Amino acid sequence: MESVLNWGIDVVLWFQQLSPALDLPFKVLTSLGDKEFYLLLMPLVYWCINRRAGARLFLLLLISAYLNEVAKLLADQPRPFHYDSRIMKIVDADSGGFPSGHTQSAVVVWGYLACRFQKKSLWLLAGFPVLAVPLSRIYLGAHFPTESFVRN
């Protein structure tokens, strides 16, 4: 396990060579996985697009967030900036590192919307945050690469 974490540290350090130049863009990308972003998106879906889809999305996101918190408690894995002092803590993160709640939320929300409405353009749109959010979490030092892609 230690060799996997050390490889992850190398990946995070490689990404963070670009700091502080890319801090703001990656903070914006990571916001696509924030609970606050979804608290704005869900009413929009409910009131402007489809009430049933909005209600299901809300329930799905609540269940997903609950399961994520339970998994974080059980796994109790450190974040990269806790594991290695060379990693910059560019964003605040107070719970355990695994699994990535931002990545999980992006997959759940955007995956559900793409599946629900079955439009090619929505599948393409959904792919962006599903890939961009985990990359942003690695760059920001909040997650190891294995947490953001392999395990979720």
* Count of domains forming the chain: 1
Q: Does residue 133 surpass a pLDDT of 50? A: yes
Q: At residue 152, does pLDDT exceed 50?
A: no
CB atoms within 10 A of CB 132: 18
Give the domain extent around 139.
2-150
Give CA 92 to chain center in angstroms: 14
What average pLDDT does this structure show over 91-104?
85
Both tokens of residue 6? Answer: 């050390």
What is the pLDDT, as a whole number, of residue 91?
A: 87
Q: Is 60 exposed, middle or buried (0-12, 13-18, 19+ CB in 10 A)?
A: middle
What would the mean pLDDT of 50-68 be, rounded to a whole number?
Answer: 94
Q: Is it the case that residue 84 has pLDDT exceeding 90?
A: no
Considering the chain, what is the average pLDDT of its residues?
88
Give Cα separations from 116 to 43, 55, 77, 119, 137 (angstroms). Answer: 16, 12, 34, 9, 27
Q: Which of 18-27, 44-53, 94-103, 137-146 has the lowest mean pLDDT?
A: 94-103
Distance CA 45, CA 53 (A): 7
- Percentage of residues in the chain with pLDDT exceeding 70? 95
User: How far, in whole angstroms, is CA 67 from its chain's centroid?
Assistant: 14
Centre a 10 Å sphere on the Cβ of residue 138 and count the other Cβ atoms it contains: 25
Which has the higher per-residue pLDDT, 84 or 129?
Answer: 129
Residue 118's CB: how many other CB atoms inside 10 A?
8
